[in-house]
Amino acid sequence: MSPAFEQSTPLNGLSFPEDEGTGLTDPDSADFTSAGYFASLAAQSNSSDYVESGLNLENVSGGTFDLTTGLAFIRFEGGVDVQDTEGDFTETWDQPVTFSVLVREETNISYEEGDVSDVYLKINLDSSNDIDVVVIESGESPDEPNLKIAEIDDT
């Protein structure tokens, strides 16, 4: 059964790691193995997904809100394909992976007035740095990987 409502708004941000192994359809936009990306993963202070900083909802009224800049770590329990020693994606990493997600401020994001809505960050694995804020009927959730960051009660 589909949720009564779901709205996705593209965000300006970064998500690592992403390449053909995680479902990226354009291999030319795969992430490089920058030390900074790996350092961001090593900086986690716990092993679950969580908001490290920011990602606050502001100006919540009249069916819209603003999302502040922030950092989140989103744990994904699904397996991903990884490169072998030849660089081919023939191996599977069948353990959880964690994505570091940097979100820049976004304004005028819509929500359903007169209802309770959950607010999620969602990573789209088939496209590089494709992160959405998803506002969905309370109790529902978007496809994985995602992280619930807030609830709006407009009843």
* CA quadruple 44, 57, 151, 135: dihedral, nearest 10: -100
Residue 39 clears pLDDT 60, i.e. is over it: no
Residue range 95-110, pLDDT digits in tens: 778 888 999 999 999 9
pLDDT value at residue 30: 66
Residue 130 clears pLDDT 80, i.e. is over it: yes
Amino acid at 41: L
